[in-house]
């Protein structure tokens, strides 16, 4: 009976995807409602009690359909993880802070691998009883093929139009896997969600998503989730778009030195961090762990021809009172 229900549901989703061209928004919204309910039902047999190795799988059909609709992409396909890829996840998980290892064990239902996902990884949640959440991660297969330098370099270059004479490179003092950065970043986002590190919740914030409560991390830096204080805003910040399919939105690479010069005057460890307070927290935490705890020094180099014309080093950031949440995470695993 369950198999029949799945078949009928799949036929409905297939029909819905076919309606993209007609832009039937109501049908798409209804389809997404059904996928959410189907997600909840499908995950009932899952458990965070399973060892991590048993929670790494190819992208399931119902998740594939959901994200095809959301992203208007038909080329998303499952990727069956190799033993080497599974080993990479497991070995890099050993480098996480104890607090993050605990979150990975207790809060992540599954890590699902797929092909053609532009942004390398997606974090989503499954609503549970008593307003609690469990989470899952989608990972693109290309993430396993890059080291940290290659992965961040690719992300940075996705903002700009191609140039024959300019280049941006992310350098590290030692080689490590890009998957380490990607997983840390997403898991720190879960930490924020679960412990309200920068997004404290009360009855009013639940009713009004635009309500913004100040914390030690955001004080004096963020006026709202996506609006920094005037002192830390800079030209083209709101135009930053990573992995955009719309080539017309890309910036000229000649503005890169100006962007990173402006970034040096902010508390943000990266351009990504300047987009929102949530990204700021996860990026700051990730770079802090890489640099301060694992000893992996990072630097961005911008070249014109053979000459370096600008650089940026997240290590120059002032990890002071704003980063009290960081110390609490390491002091109270």
H, E, C per residue of 79-125: CCCCHHHHHHHHHHHCCCCHHHHHHHHHHEEEEEEEECCCCCEEEEE
Assign 50 a pLDDT band (cuts: 50, 70, 90): confident
| CA–CA separation, 283 and 332 (whole Å) | 20
pLDDT of residue 224: 87
- The dihedral through the CA atoms of 60, 61, 67, 70 has a sign that is negative
Assign 4 a pLDDT band (cuts: 50, 70, 90): very low
pLDDT of residue 6: 46
Which range has the top average pLDDT, 122-126, 140-144, 191-195? 140-144
| CA–CA separation, 309 and 42 (whole Å) | 52
308 has pLDDT over 60: yes
DSSP three-state, residue 76: coil
Task: Of 65-74, 112-121, 128-137, 182-191, give the lowest mean pLDDT range.
Answer: 128-137
| CA–CA separation, 296 and 260 (whole Å) | 21
DSSP three-state, residue 189: helix
| CA–CA separation, 296 and 172 (whole Å) | 6
pLDDT digits (tens, 9 = 90+) for 222-232: 998 889 999 99
- By the 8 A CB rule, do 316 and 260 touch? no
127 has pLDDT over 60: yes
pLDDT of residue 200: 55
Q: Contacts by 318-321 with C-beta closer than 8 Å and gap 24+?
A: 318/267, 319/288, 319/292, 321/216
177 has pLDDT over 90: yes
pLDDT of residue 286: 93
What integer is the mean pLDDT of 37-42? Answer: 58
DSSP per-residue codes, 216-247: TTTTTTEEETTEE-GGG--TTGGG--TT-S-G
pLDDT digits (tens, 9 = 90+) for 189-234: 999 888 766 655 544 444 455 667 778 888 889 998 889 999 999 9
Strands of 166-172's sheet in order across: 166-172, 298-304, 307-312
Q: What are the domain boundaries of the chain?
A: 2-145, 148-331
What integer is the mean pLDDT of 258-284? Answer: 92
């Amino acid at each position: 009976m369950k198999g029949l229900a799945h078949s009928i549901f799949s036929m409905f989703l297939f029909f819905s995807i076919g309606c993209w061209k007609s832009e039937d928004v109501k049908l798409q919204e209804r389809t997404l409602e059904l996928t959410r309910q189907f997600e909840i039902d499908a995950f009932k047999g899952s458990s965070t009690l399973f060892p991590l190795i048993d929670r790494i799988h190819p992208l399931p059909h119902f998740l594939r359909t959901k994200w095809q609709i959301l992203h208007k992409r038909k080329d998303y396909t499952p990727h069956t993880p190799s033993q080497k890829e599974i080993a990479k996840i497991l070995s890099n998980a050993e480098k996480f802070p104890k607090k993050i290892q605990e979150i990975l064990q207790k809060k992540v239902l599954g890590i699902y691998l797929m092909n053609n996902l532009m942004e390398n990884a997606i974090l989503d949640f499954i609503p549970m009883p008593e307003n609690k959440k469990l989470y899952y991660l989608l990972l693109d297969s290309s993430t396993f093929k890059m080291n940290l330098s290659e992965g961040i370099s690719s992300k940075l270059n996705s903002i700009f139009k191609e140039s024959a004479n300019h280049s941006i490179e992310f350098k590290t003092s030692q080689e490590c896997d890009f998957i380490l950065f990607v997983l840390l970043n997403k898991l720190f986002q879960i930490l924020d969600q679960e412990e309200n590190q920068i997004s404290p919740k009360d009855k009013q914030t639940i009713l009004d998503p635009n309500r913004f409560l100040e914390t030690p991390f955001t004080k004096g830096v963020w006026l709202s989730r996506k609006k920094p204080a005037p002192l830390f805003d800079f030209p083209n910040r709101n135009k930053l778009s990573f992995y955009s399919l719309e080539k017309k939105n890309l910036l000229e690479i000649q503005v890169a030195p100006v962007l990173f010069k402006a970034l040096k005057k902010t508390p943000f460890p990266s351009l990504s961090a300047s987009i929102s307070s949530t990204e700021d927290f996860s990026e700051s935490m990730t770079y802090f762990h890489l640099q301060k705890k694992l000893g992996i020094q990072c630097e961005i180099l911008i070249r014109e021809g053979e000459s370096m014309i600008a650089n940026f080093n997240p290590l120059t950031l002032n990890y002071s009172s704003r980063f009290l949440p960081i110390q609490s995470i390491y002091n109270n695993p």
